[in-house]
A and B are shown apart, each in its own frame.
Chain A
Amino acid sequence: MNRVGLQYLAGDLSGGNARCIAMLQAFQEAIRDYSTPPEKTLTRDLTSKIGGFVSFLIECRPLSMSMGNAIRFLKSRIARLPLTLSESEAKTTLCSDIDRFINEKIVLADKVILRHAATKIRDGDVLLTYGSSCVVEMILLYAHELGKQFRVVVVDSHPMLEGQKLLRRLVVKGLSCTYTQLNAISYVMHKVTRVFLGASSIFSNGTVYSTVGTASVAMVAHAFRVPVLVCCEAYKFHERVQLDSICFNELGDPDAISKVPGRVDVNYLDNLTDKQKENLELLNLKYDATPSDYISVIVTDYGMIPPTSVPVIVRGYRKEYLLI
C-alpha cells in the first residue's frame, strides 16, 4: 500500500486504468494479509481498514473517478458478504471478486473497445490523439496490426509532456507519427480525419472529464467538423453532472508550470520579491470538462453510444456491476 501511494506521489503511475488496477491489486494484498482482530466482525473492520488505506492514498494524490467507482464496488462486496463465511473463505471470495472486476471491467472491456474503434479507422486516415491514453494507444497499435494504413498526430502539452511516452511507443512499433504542441492544434486540424481521445470519466450529461487540454482539442476538432471519438470503459461512468471544469478538479504542482524543462534561461518568474509573489497565483489544473456537443461518439464496452446515452448505461448497468 505504501509503495503504491508513493508511486502515485512521484507520478510514476498515471492514467486512470493503471492507477485503478494498481490500487485494486494493493487492496488484494492487504486483504490477504489481513486477519480479523478478536471481538470484531470481518465486514466492519475490513471496511474501516479499507477506508484508512483510501485516506492514505488520497493524501498522496486525490482519487480519480475510476478509483472512486472501484472502491465503491469493493465496499459493496464486503458489505454483501454472507455472515456464515469463515474468514479465509471471505478473503478468497473478495480476492476473486477483485480479480473478476479487473478482468471484466478493464481488460475484457478494453478488448471490446478495440474491436469497435478499429472499424472506424480506414486506410488513408490521419488520426489525432492528445496526451497519453492507454486505450487509444491500444487502438492505434491494434489497427496497425490489422494492416490499416494511417498516420498519427500526437498532440502534447506542458508541463506533463505525456505525449512523448505515447509517441515513443508508437514509433517503436513502426507507425508514422507527427508530434506537435497544443498551440499548433488549429494549424494541424485541417488535415485530420478522426480524433481519438481517452477519458478519466464521463458524467451523466455526457460531459467528458479528461486530462487538461482535451476540451480544447475537441472544440477545435468540432470547428473543423472532424469527428471526435472518446474511448472509455463503462466502469468509469459517473452519475454526477459537472457543468464546468472549475467546480471539481485537481491541482498539480504550481512550480512545474513556472519553468520550462531544458530551458534554464526562461527564468522570468524566479526573482520575485515576496510582496510581488502575493499578486501571483500559479494554477496548474490536471483535468478539464468537455461538453457533450463536441463529442461525436463514445466507444465503450457496451458499443458505440452517443453522449446523450450515458445516463442509460449508468442507470441500467451500474446496478449490475454492483451485484456481480
Chain B
Amino acid sequence: MWWRSASFILDRQQHQNRTVAPSPESFLLSSPPPMADSPLNPKSNISAYYQTRAAHHAVVTSDWLAQAQAAVGRHSDDDGSLGDDKGAAPIGGGGGGGEEEGSGKAFSVIDEFNSWRKQPALAEAVAAIRALAAVIRTSEATTMMELEIELKKASDSLKSWDTTSISLTAGCDLFMLYVTRTSALEYEDFNSAKSRLIERAEKFGEISCKARRIIAMLSQDFIFDGCTILVHGFSRVVLEVLKTAAENKKHFRVLCTGRPDRTGLRFSNELAKLDVPVKLLIDSAVAYTMDEVDVVLFGADGVVESGGIINMMGTFQIALVAHSMNKPVYVAAESYKFARHYPLDQKDMSPARRPIDFGVPIPSKVEVETSARDYTPPQYLTLLFTDLGVLTPSVISDELIQLYL
C-alpha cells in the first residue's frame, strides 16, 4: 500500500519486516483471513466468495440451470418441512437436494450450507440462512439458552468459512436478530417457542428467497422504453431485474462490462438468450460510452452503514464517471446484505483477493493489484432498490439502527 509518502520503498520494507513478526493487536486491523483454520477452505489469500462466483460462472448457463433443477426435483426428499420452497423463486430455489434423512447426530451446518450452495442461483447468504433454519429444526436442545448457543456456534462457523464475504456475515447476523427477537419467547414453554422460532426462520428464508422478485418488481418503474442500461459484472439480482423488464415487453439496450474474470461475457450471454440487444465493453471504455447511457445499474456484494456499496472492482470507477456526467446510478441489493461496516476509504475493508490473469506471464519484480472489490461512497449513488422498498443511501443507516438496536 502506498501511503501518502514518496518513500514507499522504505515503507514497504518496513511493512514486510513488520508482517514477519505479527503483533497480536493487529487482529483489529485489516489482515488476511486465517484461512488455515478451516480445512474446508484450503486456498489461502484467495477470497472464497469470489472463487465460488468464478466457479459458478464458469459453468452456469440457463440451460444448465434448467437441467439442474429438473435433476434436483427428481431427488428431492419431500419431508414436508421444505414444502415452502416450491412456491419460492422459480430458479433453483426448490427442492431439498442436500438434506440427509437420519443425519441427526452428525449434523453439520457446514455440510448443509454446502449442499444449499450447490444451487448456483441461490445467494450464499440465503444458503446460510436456510442452513441455520435447519439447525433450529434438527436441534436437540431442551432450553432456549442452549438453542441460542447452538445457533451462535453454527453462525460463527459459517462466518469463519469465508471471512471476506460481507453478505454471509450480515445474513447470519440478521437471521440471529430476526429469529431471537420475539417478545413472546419468555412466556411460552420451550416447544412452542421452538416452533415459533422455526416459523420465523422459515419466514426469513422465504423473504430472502423472494427478495429478488420484489426488487425486480420495484425497479420496473425506472426502466423505460428505449433506455440504455450499463451494468457491471454478473449480478443475479440485476439479471432478474432485466429479465422481468424483458418479460414486460420493454425495449431497452444493455451495455456490459466486466473483465478480466469474464463476468461481463457471461452476463451478455444470458441477456442474448432473452433477445435483449447487448453490447460488450472493456472496462476502460466506460467513459467513452457514458454519453449514450441513460441508467447505470449495479448489484452489490454488501451495503454498508454509510449508504455506500461494496461491489466488484470497477464499480467505483463507473459510478464516478456516471456521477460526473449526471447519469443516475441505481443499486439492486437484498436487505440481508446490509452490514454494519463503515469504510472510510478504499483500503479500510478487509482485503479479498482474486487471481488476475493478464494472459501473459508477468515478470517477477512486478506487483499486481489483486483486490477483488472496491467501495463506492454514497454520494455517487442515486437510489437503492431493496426488498424493503426503494431507498436513498442515507436511509440505510436508519434501517440498520432499527434492525440492530
Interface residues of A (CB under 8 A from B): 118-120, 122-124, 146-148, 190-191, 193-194, 227, 229, 296-297, 302-306, 308-309, 312-313, 316-317
Question: Which residue of chain B lies nearest to A116 when distances are taken between CB atoms in the complex?
Answer: B342
B405 touches A302 (CB 8 A): yes
Cα distance A190–B344 when bound, in Å? Answer: 17
Question: Which residue of chain B lies nearest to A149 when distances are taken between CB atoms in the complex?
Answer: B18
Picked from B4, B11, B345, the residue with its CB within 8 Å of the CB of A191 is B4
Question: B78 contacts the other chain (Cβ, under 8 Å)?
Answer: no
Taking A303-B401, A304-B305, A306-B305 as given, write out 20 further A-B residue pairs in contact, using a Cβ cutoff of 8 Å, ordered by the A residue number: A118-B28, A119-B28, A123-B18, A124-B3, A146-B28, A191-B4, A227-B345, A296-B344, A297-B306, A302-B401, A302-B405, A303-B305, A308-B307, A308-B394, A308-B397, A309-B394, A309-B398, A309-B401, A316-B401, A317-B405
A303 touches B398 (CB 8 A): no
For A229, what are the chain B residues with a Cβ–Cβ distance below 8 Å? Answer: 344
B24 to chain A, nearest CB (A): 8
Cα distance A313–B5 when bound, in Å? Answer: 39
- List, sorted by A's number, 5 A–B pairs whose CB atoms are closer than 8 Å: A122-B29, A304-B305, A309-B398, A309-B401, A316-B401
A-B CB contacts (within 8 Å), total count: 64
Q: Which interface residue of A148, A227, A304, A313 has the most chain B CB atoms within 10 A?
A: A304
B128 to chain A, nearest CB (A): 23
A303 touches B3 (CB 8 A): no
- Please encode chain B, from 1 to 30, with 1 for each CB lying within 8 Å of some chain A CB and 0 for all others: 001110000010001001000010110111
B362 to chain A, nearest CB (A): 27
Interface residues of B (CB under 8 A from A): 3-5, 11, 15, 18, 23, 25-26, 28-30, 305-307, 340, 342, 344-345, 348, 378, 394, 397-398, 401-402, 404-405
Cα distance A308–B340 when bound, in Å? Answer: 16
Question: Which residue of chain A lies nearest to B1 when distances are taken between CB atoms in the complex?
Answer: A124
Question: Which residue of chain A lies nearest to B345 when distances are taken between CB atoms in the complex?
Answer: A227
A312 touches B29 (CB 8 A): no
B394 touches A227 (CB 8 A): no
Cα distance A194–B342 when bound, in Å? Answer: 14
A120 touches B398 (CB 8 A): no
Picked from A194, A313, A316, the residue with its CB within 8 Å of the CB of B344 is A194
Question: Which residue of chain B lies nearest to A302 when distances are taken between CB atoms in the complex?
Answer: B405
Cα distance A135–B345 when bound, in Å? Answer: 23
When A120-B344, A148-B25 are in contact, do A305 and B18 touch as well, CB less than 8 Å?
A: no
B340 touches A306 (CB 8 A): no
Cα distance A305–B398 when bound, in Å? Answer: 9
B28 touches A306 (CB 8 A): no
B340 touches A303 (CB 8 A): yes
B401 to chain A, nearest CB (A): 5
Cα distance A190–B4 when bound, in Å? Answer: 8
When A308-B397, A309-B401 are in contact, do A227 and B25 touch as well, CB less than 8 Å?
A: no
Cα distance A194–B343 when bound, in Å? Answer: 12
When A146-B28, A227-B345, A297-B342 are in contact, do A313 and B306 touch as well, CB less than 8 Å?
A: no
In the complex, the 10 A-B pairs of residues with the closest C-beta atoms, listed nearest first = A308-B394, A227-B344, A309-B397, A304-B342, A147-B25, A146-B25, A306-B306, A312-B398, A306-B397, A122-B29
For A303, what are the chain B residues with a Cβ–Cβ distance below 8 Å? Answer: 305, 340, 401, 404-405
For A123, what are the chain B residues with a Cβ–Cβ distance below 8 Å? Answer: 18, 26, 29
B3 to chain A, nearest CB (A): 6
A306 touches B394 (CB 8 A): yes
Cα distance A305–B307 when bound, in Å? Answer: 10
Question: Which residue of chain B lies nearest to A126 when distances are taken between CB atoms in the complex?
Answer: B4
For B5, what are the chain A residues with a Cβ–Cβ distance below 8 Å? Answer: 191
Cα distance A308–B308 when bound, in Å? Answer: 13
